[in-house]
């Protein structure tokens, strides 16, 4: 059974990352928000070395011996807690850290042990979205054709987070467009590979320290071994469903991590709001009865409740993954709830703080701008709700659209 208290090792890491965010990331927030993509956050390379050196990074925490069925707190729980703390510092800088990358999670989810050992430390982006395939990942048109010992990739990808600065890109492509989602596989493509071109870097509302790129693949060749997972195309309907489910397993790992970004940002907005109010003599007192609260206090209590609900959903989805329990529905629930909550909390905090919230004198307006993308990328709130509905009702994607 899940324990709602964080294990000591994870809590110790959380405390260290809060200090890292406060002293390392937060002082850079405004600088790189204003610079957008004109400057690379060079300080992040040194900061990333500190993250790589931290204890228990990438290892299971409080893992149980083989054969035991008791509680297991592993890498997924550690990662969502870590993501939230780093995003308390700055979401854009978190995404720009060389040790972070959605492609890293894809490799971790489906790569073989040999592939992971060969590729080692990664800074990998993930390229899924296309001009004609946004929320429907199964509709992608990028192709991969085997030619001897190489895969030849052709297609166009948009809205690739870290697509410009990353060292590798995990590209989703189809081995056979006539077979639909069953033929979709993912490939690790090192940057600099001939045929891969970054054609545009977007200018954005938020997370401006992190680049978002368009990538074109024209006869881009990668080794046969760079296909992630099983290269075979399933032949039966049931096998095809399982095959695409294996590809989509990536999202079961990454959606709680993205949801955790919203949790961290919301905590940052609430902390700063309460700090600014305290300077005006307004401090929260949770022992007050409802009729004794001011309107501002009532708003903040409601925001705290929304925050706590999302945080617990995220922890449960990650804990289920660590304990080998199917968590697809819970991963989507956590992403839908946290994405909406983060935006709601950040905007309300701007409203509560008035001029200070809206001006660049404080970071609240930046938190509000950064919050919106978390509700959109890695599957919009509406898509997450659709996934949850399908699983609750026991319907497939063809039955409930």
The Cα–Cα gap between 66 and 106 comes to 25
Chosen domain end from 177, 212, 234: 234
Q: What angle do CA 268, 382, 215 make, to 5 degrees?
A: 80
Q: Is residue 169 part of a domain?
A: yes
Q: Looking at residue 90, what is its pLDDT?
A: 97
DSSP character string of 235-251: -SHHHHHHHHHHHHHHH
- 340-362 exposure pattern, b = at least 16 Cβ within 10 A, e = fewer: bbbbbbbbbbbebbeebbeeeeb
Q: How far is CA 142 from CA 87, 107, 165, 222, in A?
A: 32, 19, 22, 14
Whether 274 sits among the annotated catalytic residues: the reply is no
Residues 245 and 370 occupy one common structural domain: yes
Phi, psi (deg, nearest 5) at residue 182 = -65, -25
The Cα–Cα gap between 145 and 153 comes to 7
Number of structural domains, the chain? 3
Q: Looking at residue 63, what is its pLDDT?
A: 47
Residues 81 and 144 occupy one common structural domain: no
| Domain hosting residue 183, numbered range | 124-234
CATH number at residue 352: 1.20.140.10
Q: Looking at residue 188, what is its pLDDT?
A: 96
Q: Is residue 12 part of a domain?
A: yes
Chosen domain end from 234, 261, 277: 234
Q: Radius of gyration of the chain from Cα atoms? A: 21
Q: Which two tokens stand for residue 187?
A: 């490939």
Residues 258 and 378 occupy one common structural domain: yes
8 A C-beta contact, residue 335 and residue 259: yes
Q: Looking at residue 255, what is its pLDDT?
A: 92
Residues 39 and 140 occupy one common structural domain: no
Count of H-run helices and E-run strands, the chain:
12, 8
Q: Is residue 309 part of a domain?
A: yes
Residues 102 and 24 occupy one common structural domain: yes
Site of tokens 């902390």: 271
Per-residue pLDDT of the chain (401 residues; tens, 9 = 90+): 677 788 899 999 999 999 999 999 999 999 999 998 777 788 888 888 777 665 455 455 554 444 445 678 888 999 999 999 999 999 999 999 887 888 887 888 788 888 888 888 889 999 999 998 877 777 899 999 999 999 999 999 999 999 999 999 999 999 999 988 889 999 999 999 999 999 999 999 999 999 999 999 999 999 999 999 888 887 666 655 555 555 566 678 889 999 999 999 999 999 999 999 999 888 888 788 878 888 999 999 999 999 999 999 999 999 999 998 999 999 999 999 999 999 999 999 999 999 999 999 999 999 999 999 999 998 899 999 999 999 999 998 788 98
Q: Is residue 289 part of a domain?
A: yes
Annotated active-site residue in 85, 130, 297, 378: 378
Q: Looking at residue 26, what is its pLDDT?
A: 97
Q: Which two tokens stand for residue 232?
A: 């075979």
Q: Is residue 2 part of a domain?
A: no
The DSSP letter of residue 61 is B
Q: Is residue 305 part of a domain?
A: yes
- If phi over 0 gives left and psi between -120 and 50 gives alpha, with beta otherwise, what is residue 207? left
H/E stretch holding 344? helix 328-358
Q: Is residue 1 part of a domain?
A: no
8 A C-beta contact, residue 86 and residue 25: yes
Closest CA to 26 of 106, 110, 85, 103: 85
| 340, 257, 316, 306: CA torsion to nearest 10 | -20
Residues 275 and 354 occupy one common structural domain: yes
Residues 258 and 372 occupy one common structural domain: yes
Contacts with 336 (C-beta within 8 Å, 6 or more apart), sequence order: 381, 384, 385, 388
Residues 155 and 90 occupy one common structural domain: no
Residues 203 and 273 occupy one common structural domain: no
The Cα–Cα gap between 373 and 133 comes to 18
């Amino acid at each position: 059974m899940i324990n709602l208290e964080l294990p000591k090792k994870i809590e110790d890491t959380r405390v260290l990352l809060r200090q890292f965010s406060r002293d390392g990331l937060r002082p850079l927030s405004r600088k790189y928000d204003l610079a957008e993509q004109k400057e690379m956050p060079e300080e992040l390379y040194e900061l990333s070395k500190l993250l790589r050196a931290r204890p228990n990074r990438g290892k299971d925490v409080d893992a149980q011996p083989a054969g035991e069925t008791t509680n297991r707190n592993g890498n997924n729980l550690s990662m969502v807690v870590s993501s939230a703390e780093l995003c308390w510092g700055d979401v854009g800088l978190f995404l720009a850290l060389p040790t972070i990358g959605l492609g890293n999670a894809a490799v971790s989810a489906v790569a073989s042990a040999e592939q992971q050992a060969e590729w080692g430390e990664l800074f990998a982006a993930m390229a899924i979205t296309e001009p004609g395939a946004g929320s429907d990942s199964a509709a992608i048109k990028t192709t991969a054709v085997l030619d001897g010992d190489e895969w030849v990739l052709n297609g166009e990808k948009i809205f690739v987070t870290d697509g410009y600065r990353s060292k590798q890109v995990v590209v989703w492509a189809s081995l056979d467009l006539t077979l639909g989602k069953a033929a979709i596989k993912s490939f690790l493509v090192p940057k600099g590979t001939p045929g891969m071109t970054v054609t545009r870097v977007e200018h954005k509302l938020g997370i401006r320290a992190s680049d978002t790129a368009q990538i074109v693949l024209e006869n881009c060749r990668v080794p046969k071994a760079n296909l992630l997972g099983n290269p075979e195309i399933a032949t039966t309907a049931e096998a095809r469903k399982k095959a695409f489910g294996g590809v989509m397993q990536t999202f079961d790992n990454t959606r709680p991590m993205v949801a955790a970004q919203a949790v961290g940002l919301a905590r940052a907005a609430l902390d700063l709001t309460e700090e600014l109010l305290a300077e005006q003599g307004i401090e929260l007192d949770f022992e007050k009865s409802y009729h004794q609260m001011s309107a501002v206090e009532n708003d903040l209590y409601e925001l705290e409740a929304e925050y706590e609900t999302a945080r617990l959903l995220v922890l449960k989805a990650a804990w289920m993954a660590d304990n080998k329990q199917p968590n697809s529905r819970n991963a989507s629930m956590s992403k839908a709830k946290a994405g909406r909550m983060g935006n709601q909390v950040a905007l309300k905090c701007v409203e509560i703080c008035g001029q200070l919230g809206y001006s660049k004198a404080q970071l609240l307006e930046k938190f509000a701008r950064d919050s919106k993308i978390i509700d959109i990328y890695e599957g919009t709130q509406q898509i997450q709700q659709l996934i949850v509905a399908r699983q609750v009702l026991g319907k497939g994607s063809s039955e409930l659209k």
